[in-house]
Amino acid sequence: MINEDERHHQADAIRAETAADAPELAEHDRYAALERELEEARSKALYAAAEAQNVRRRLEADKQQASIYAVTGFARDMLAVRDHLDRALSHVPEAARADDSQKSFLDGIEATLRELDSIFARNGIERIAAKGLPLDPNKHQAMIEMPSDEEPGTVIEEMQAGYMLKERLLRPALVGVARAG
């Protein structure tokens, strides 16, 4: 019985004899081997080119995302300014609103607030709707549950407005939620 190594050795010997007897067969084997190597090199080159294109696309998408959301920190800081303006206006007594000397001052604060809202809108910063809607844990943060006739889980009070920057949450709305009973 012939083992595997002997079989390979015999096959190599036969090929060597055949190559010596017929040089055109050896040339053909060499040509076929070169064609396989060339095809392998082409395949690797195509794979490398495709991978480079994918990396380029990923980097471009990352760059675009970075430019869109680069203002996130600044936008969060500006929300505090908006909150302060809102609080200031909510604490103005009606008598001050009727006084002509204070009315122009209040009009200026309201104009500043409108301009800030306009800037937010131009930059994709939108207020999250909350009151009367079901609690959405992706946009709302429940701070308190309160007994109510509303459907349980419905937002019945907004303590602090929430905002989105395009599709990303900038700040959740702090809300009070209805509970049964």
Q: What is the pLDDT of residues 53-103, one digit of tens each?
A: 999 999 999 898 888 788 888 999 999 999 999 999 999 888 888 888 888
Please report the sign of the dihedral spanned by the C-alpha atoms of residue 111, residue 113, residue 116, residue 121.
Answer: negative
27 or 112, which is more confident? 112
Check: pTM over 0.85? Answer yes or no. Answer: no
The pairing of strands 140-147 and 173-179 is: parallel
Q: What pLDDT, on a 0 to 100 scale, did the predictor assign at position 20? A: 53
Q: How far is CA 36 from CA 42, 86, 116, 131, in A?
A: 10, 74, 67, 69
Please report the sign of the dihedral spanned by the C-alpha atoms of residue 94, residue 95, residue 99, residue 104.
Answer: negative
The pairing of strands 168-171 and 163-165 is: antiparallel
**Average per-residue pLDDT for the chain:** 87
Radius of gyration of the chain (CA): 37
Count of CA atoms in the C-beta half-sphere (13 A) of 153:
4
What percent of the chain shows pLDDT beyond 90?
A: 57
Least confident of 35-39, 98-102, 109-113: 98-102
Nearest CA among 53, 61, 75 for reference residue 126: 75
21 or 97, which is more confident? 97
